[in-house]
Amino acid sequence: MNKYFAEFFGTFWLVFGGCGSAVLAAAYPELGIGFAGVALAFGLTVLTMAYAVGHISGGHFNPAVSVGLLVGGRFSAKELLPYIIAQVVGATAAAAVLYFVATGKAGFDAAASGFASNGYAEHSPAQYSMGAALVIEVVLTAFFLIIIMGATDERAPKGFAPIAIGLGLTLIHLISIPVTNTSVNPARSTGVALFQGGWAIEQLWLFWLAPIVGAAIGGIIYRTLLSGQK
């Protein structure tokens, strides 16, 4: 069970740290951390928890990563569903704690603010279309899997994988926050969508479909073209 607890706490930290920075700190008057700060926060959550519990569970913290590693030959199919459940429960628990904290400020409205949810069209931060959102989530998740599989390859330098993965996730957010508010992680999208409660739930399908498709593509690319594994 320790693997599942590791995935729970790792995903909790990712959502609480990343989405928490967006909800609580991004636009704080005069001292707001902005998009760059939120991007860094997401990267730091993965970096820190990969070092903390990655040796226990592999440090997925993301259903798409679990699927991609399965396709890439690095993960067991029998573990997939328990991992995804632990990740989604962890993300939802983090969103619940964040919601409690955020509503401690008078006038906070999760539905109106968006609560760091992912969206497209009128709910994209910069009004990008559904097609643009779909493509960027697929492409970025595919490259995220390539980074993860490459950094953890037995031929790679030892001990540095969390740094590469954390910085990779930071870069992904720097690219795509204006497009979708950046998902590449269905659990992250689900946790906050449940508390936004409106359009975020209606658009949630894209933030399961696109990251999982992208992760599978990334896993196939690394397995067949880069690792030489069959």
**CA atoms of 113 and 50, how far apart (whole Å):** 30
Terminus-to-terminus CA distance in the chain, angstroms? 31
Q: What is the mean pLDDT of residues 126-147?
A: 98
**HEC string for 93-120:** HHHHHHHHHHCCCCCCCHHHHCCCCCCC
As a whole number, the mean pLDDT across the chain is: 95
SS3 111: helix
Range of the domain at 49: 3-226
Burial label, 126 (beta-carbon count in 10 A; 0-12, 13-18, 19+): exposed
**CA atoms of 224 and 230, how far apart (whole Å):** 6
Per residue in 167-183, pLDDT (tens digit) is 999 999 999 999 999 99
Instruction: Assign residue 118 the CATH number of its domain.
Output: 1.20.1080.10
Which position has the token pair 């991004």?
Answer: 26
As for how many domains the chain has, the answer is 1
Per residue in 40-96, pLDDT (tens digit) is 999 999 999 999 999 999 999 999 999 999 999 999 999 999 999 999 999 999 999
